[in-house]
Amino acid sequence: MQFKRYGIYYTPEPGALADFGAQWLGWDPVTGERRAHPEITSLPRPVEELTATPRKYGLHGTIKPPFFLAEGQSPDALQEALAALCATLAPVTLPGLTLSRLGSFLALKIDGDQTPLAALAARAVKELDMFRRPPSEAELARRRQANLSSAQEALLAQWGYPYVMEEFRFHITLTGRLGKDAEQTQAALLPHITPLLPQPFVVSSLTLVGEDDSQMFHEIQRYALTG
């Protein structure tokens, strides 16, 4: 399969959380197939509507944001470089994950200090930057609609994305913007997802993903952290 963009994600290892996430979002990036949503009572709207925005990405936490390949680079070279990088990175152990509100949407966030994971993400952003094609003016303009701070503007100019390095905030997005429905959605989802959340939360691999022509993301390969 040919992909137009690539990204480096944390994705859950195969198991209960990965399976629930594929059902909740309605997309399994491992199989490249749609999944039926779970039956969850007390939601303010159908799961299909609540998860429309994050569906195409699959259940993930961004490590290196999606990018177009730079001229002269190839998917094979990217895979080789990511494999080499992961061979130098040790697994990261964090206290756990918790279901939280992040602005107007719901996400799984680290329950505790994210510093070790932020350092890992910074290395991925920096050491694989040669594979990233600089953003177009249209891409830059779209990012700037978020009223970026001066620090975020500088990161956008250097790395093509404003929420990396010191602005990195790990999260696994579960919904689109909810507005007044956020509290009810969180209450309905909490008992279903809480038993699946890892305590501690161990990041032992990184996943290379690719975006197809329909904007859906697929797992290309998972790389163990063996450094």
Q: Report CA-CA distances (Å) from 121 to 31, 100, 208.
A: 26, 21, 13
Tell whether the torsion through CA atoms of 176, 179, 181 and 182 is positive or negative: positive
Where residue 111 sits, what CATH number does that domain have? 3.90.1140.10
Task: Give me the pLDDT at residue 47, please.
Answer: 98
The closest alpha carbon to 129, from 8, 3, 215, 1, belongs to 8
Task: Give me the pLDDT at residue 52, please.
Answer: 98
Mean pLDDT estimate for the chain: 96
- How do residues 1-25 score in pLDDT, each as one tens digit? 899 999 999 999 999 999 999 999 9
Distance CA 85, CA 89 (A): 7
Beta bridge partners of 209: 7, 219
| Stretch among 121-125, 137-141, 219-223 having the lowest mean pLDDT | 137-141
Task: Give me the pLDDT at residue 170, please.
Answer: 98
* Domain range for 59: 5-224
Q: How many domains does the chain have?
A: 1
Residue 98: pLDDT over 90? yes
List strand residue ranges (DSSP E) for 95-154, in order.
97-102, 105-110
3-state secondary structure (DSSP) of residue 18: helix
**Full-model pTM:** 0.95
As given in the structure block, the two tokens for residue 64 are 């290196």
